[in-house]
Amino acid sequence: MSEVQRLLRPDLRGRTAYGAPQLDVPVCLNTNESSYPVPEVVIRAVLDALEADLSSLNRYPDREFTDLRKALTAYVERQAGVAVTPEQVWAGNGSNEVLSHIVQAFGGPGRIALGFTPSYSMHPIIAETLGTTWVDGLREAETFDLTVAAAADQARAHDPSIVFLCSPNNPTGTALPFDVIGAVLEAAPNAVVVVDEAYAEFARPGTPSALSLLADHERLVVTRTMSKAFAFAGGRLGYLVASEELVDALRLVRLPYHLSTPTQTIARVALEHAELMLSTVEAIKAERDRIVRELASLGATPVESDANFVLFGGLPDEKATWQALLDRGILVRDVGIRHHLRVTAGTPAETTRFLEAMTELAPTHVGPVTTPSTVDHPDFETAEDDA
């Protein structure tokens, strides 16, 4: 054992560093980014705003990111129809950072975080690397559904300090049955319950948001991101909404001045142009639904999605299918579920390239599956750059 490995925390030895494949391919549909560039008018507005910032970069940024919180508050109220205050809003460099703040504040040695696999693979990584015991909750076999009874029973059995729920869920794309949230809050009275709504803007009409429950539950947290619907993954801005007291607790663990002046400015300007930034959402949803229809016609088993991606099964050898698509210049995601792959809904041209490739591959790569769709435990190498 090397000196570095000897000194490394024992629970980290032998693990592989975080990261999804970043390959130079014509069609990149593996990390749920938007395929659409930031509009030119927003680029110009960002440049103008940043120019005004440059003369003050000798000073620390606004530690409380006051203007950004006001902008996020206004957006949440418009998008979800729920009244919140700036004091209920918290932000970080991507939703992964605000999730880490939650675990730092409410997890730690001797405490349990519960999630329901398959789900967002960063939840266990954040929990475990911050010294919190992770428990893989169970979903229904094959369908990966999470029922009220199953969620409540498992929450009650493990007495967690943190529970992670996702709606829509990643990688299945399905919205959470709304009653699950209330059931988990009741069954886990010692837990902060986190509902990860990273893909909320893509949900089908009538899908409720956990934001509507905040007024009655001070242990509830709703996390969101600007990486997906806002086509802003490179901007690295995630946020959460919770009770004022819970948000105030996060100040105990955040690093000083964690949001730079440019980050705050870029995100604020994007929010000022929210309608334009979100103008591609319906087009992406149309491609998502097209993927579901056409994969089903090929004999695959796609999951009806409320996100900007589709999980599809019916692949006797998902790793061979992944490689065959890559050989054709198309990168999708192997999420560690046997017989399944996940594809991001891109532009119409990208969707066409993917579907044409799947049509070509279907005779040999889509067919009867004889072994269960087991889920690999997520590790560093199966995490995704999608928060």
List b or e across 273-285, with b for residues whose CB sees 16 or more CB atoms inside 10 angstroms. Answer: bbeebeebbeebb
**Cα separation, 170 vs 178, whole angstroms:** 16
> CA gyration radius for the chain?
21
20-36+280-374: CATH number:
3.90.1150.10
Strand 133-138, strand 27-28: pairing: unpaired
Report residue 45 as tokens.
Answer: 């507005």
pTM of structure: 0.93
Q: Are 372 and 140 in contact (CB under 8 A)?
A: no
Measured distance CA(23)–CA(100) in Å, rounded: 28
Extents of the domains making up the chain:
20-36+280-374, 40-274
Judge whether residue 19 has pLDDT over 90: no
Measured N-to-C along each axis, helices 66-80 and 261-272 cross at an angle, to the nearest 10 degrees, of 30
Mean of all residue pLDDT scores within the chain = 94
Phi, psi angle pair for 322, to nearest 5° = -55, -45
User: What class, spelled out in words, does domain 40-274 have in CATH?
Assistant: alpha beta
Query: Max Cα separation, the chain?
Result: 64
pLDDT at 235 (0 to 100) = 94
Q: In this predicted model, what pLDDT tens digit does every residue of 272-317 receive, in sequence order?
A: 999 999 999 999 999 999 999 999 999 999 999 999 999 999 999 9
> What's the CA gap between 348 and 354, in Å, rounded?
10
* Residue 1, pLDDT score: 83
Question: So what's the pLDDT on residue 383?
Answer: 44
How much of the chain, in percent, has pLDDT values that exceed 90?
89
Let me know: does 77 contact 83? Beta carbons within 8 Å: yes
- Helices within 238-347 (DSSP H only): 244-250, 261-272, 274-277, 281-297, 318-327
Tokens 């435990």 sit at which residue?
Answer: 377
pLDDT digits (tens, 9 = 90+) for 33-89: 999 999 999 999 999 999 999 999 999 999 999 999 999 999 999 999 999 999 999
Q: Is the pLDDT of residue 144 over 70?
A: yes
Output DSSP code: residue 83. Answer: -
- For the range 52-57, what are the long-range contacts, defined as Cβ-Cβ under 8 Å and sequence gap of 24 or more? 53/261, 53/262, 53/265, 56/261, 57/261
> What is the distance between the alpha carbons of residues 314 and 76, in angstroms, rounded to a whole number?
38
